[in-house]
């Protein structure tokens, strides 16, 4: 809904400042560095101020702008490629999680069970989107999507730069619950609509997605039961979802059979519960599993880069020498 207006009045005019020689993938990488830089900065910051609200809004806005610059650049220079599509869409998976983290920090909401559940719902929405793409060979874009949600987040962050704005979001307004739950409730509903909308278009319940949902929910449930520091379940759940989503993307471009979620997740749950009973260090098991998932993602990413290496360029050729659009 907002994209046509933003394209016409903001993204396209601003894109004219970008040299055409810069590859679209570099613009995607810049948005990734921007988001991860903001994430790491906030990880190392305990006390927040009005300036932090402005900086978080600026980081997210920069991500939005460059996330659209890469598509415009690829179109203008006729350099669209499978590598660029995977890099662009896959980076959104983790950038979206960072947006949620920054939102919770700016609203001063505890990074506890609610935070982790919202992270998981976001992962489900992304996962079903790419499972659907893998099956239908078409990426669905609804009339209202993530862009509108991120713009709302930016507006909320800006409002928190004023103490009265932050106070408003923390003030109980309905049944003694803070106003920020309206935003969280709306986001949760959008995730559910995304999942059920995908089911309607597919006219089926994809078995691999159902397995992913059940196993991942069990994994998250165990982490919540153990009352771990938020960083451990955040790492495990994010990489578990990231691994499955990347497999689904591979299924789109490499014509593989339906990708399956990581089968070790169930074993990890079975290994962690006895650790709790015998008072052993179960955090080591979960951290090891998170590292294993990260290595799986790196391995798949390396395979994709190797497969599509001809699409990686350090500088775009002149328009008359550009390769044909694929």
Query: Does residue 184 register a pLDDT over 90?
Result: yes
> Measured between alpha carbons, how far is 292 from 257 in angstroms, rounded to an integer?
23
Do the domain assignments include residue 261?
A: yes
Question: DSSP secondary-structure letter at 320?
Answer: G
Do the domain assignments include residue 14?
A: yes
Do the domain assignments include residue 39?
A: yes
Do the domain assignments include residue 54?
A: yes
Query: Which two three-digit tokens encode residue 187?
Result: 């986001």
Do the domain assignments include residue 326?
A: no
Query: Which two three-digit tokens encode residue 287?
Result: 């951290």
Query: How confident is the model over 34-90, as pLDDT tens digits?
Result: 999 999 999 999 999 999 999 999 999 999 999 999 999 999 999 999 999 999 999
> Measured between alpha carbons, how far is 227 from 218 in angstroms, rounded to an integer?
14
Domain extent for 250: 3-321
Handedness of CA 15, 19, 21, 22 (dihedral sign): negative
Do the domain assignments include residue 154?
A: yes
DSSP 3-state percent helix, strand, coil across the chain (nearest 5): 75, 0, 25
> Measured between alpha carbons, how far is 24 from 226 in angstroms, rounded to an integer?
43
Do the domain assignments include residue 239?
A: yes
Residue 286 CA: distances (Å) to CA of 83, 228, 269 = 31, 10, 9
**HSE-CB of 159 using CA atoms within 13 angstroms:** 16
Owner of token pair 């983290």:
101
Q: 0.85 cut: is pTM over it?
A: yes
Query: How confident is the model over 195-238, as pLDDT tens digits?
Result: 999 999 999 899 999 999 999 999 999 999 988 899 999 999 99
Indicate the number of domains in the chain: 1
Tell me the mean pLDDT in the region 108-133. Answer: 96
Do the domain assignments include residue 161?
A: yes
Angle at 240 between CA 235 and CA 243, to 5 degrees: 120
Owner of token pair 């988001």:
35
Contacts of 250 (CB under 8 A, 6+ apart): 256, 259, 300, 303, 304
């Amino acid at each position: 809904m907002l994209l046509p207006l933003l394209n016409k009045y903001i993204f396209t005019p601003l894109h004219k400042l970008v040299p055409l020689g810069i590859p679209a993938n570099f613009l995607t990488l810049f948005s990734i560095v921007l988001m991860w830089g903001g994430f790491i900065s906030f990880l190392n910051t305990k006390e927040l101020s009005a300036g932090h609200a402005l900086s978080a809004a600026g980081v997210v806005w920069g991500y939005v702008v460059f996330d659209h610059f890469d598509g415009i650049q690829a179109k203008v220079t006729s350099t669209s490629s499978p590598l660029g599509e995977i890099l662009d869409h896959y980076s959104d998976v983790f950038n979206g999680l960072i947006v949620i983290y920054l939102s919770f920090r700016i609203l001063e909401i505890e990074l506890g069970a609610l935070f982790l559940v919202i992270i998981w719902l976001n992962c489900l929405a992304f996962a079903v989107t790419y499972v659907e793409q893998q099956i239908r060979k078409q990426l669905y874009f609804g009339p209202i999507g993530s862009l509108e949600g991120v713009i709302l987040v930016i507006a909320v962050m800006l409002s928190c730069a004023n103490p009265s704005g932050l106070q408003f979001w923390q003030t109980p307004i309905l049944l003694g619950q803070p106003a920020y739950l309206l935003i969280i409730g709306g986001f949760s509903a959008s995730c559910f609509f995304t999942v059920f909308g995908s089911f309607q278009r597919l006219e089926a319940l994809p078995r691999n997605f159902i397995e992913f949902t059940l196993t991942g929910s069990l994994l998250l449930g165990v982490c919540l039961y153990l009352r771990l520091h938020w960083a451990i379940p955040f790492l495990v759940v994010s990489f578990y979802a990231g691994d499955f989503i990347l497999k689904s993307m591979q299924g789109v471009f490499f014509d593989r059979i339906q990708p399956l979620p990581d089968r070790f997740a169930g074993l990890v749950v079975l290994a962690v519960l006895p650790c709790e009973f015998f008072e052993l260090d179960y955090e080591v098991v979960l951290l090891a599993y998170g590292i294993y998932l990260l290595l799986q993602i790196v391995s798949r990413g390396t395979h994709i880069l190797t497969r599509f290496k001809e699409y990686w360029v350090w500088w775009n050729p002149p328009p008359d020498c550009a390769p044909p659009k694929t």
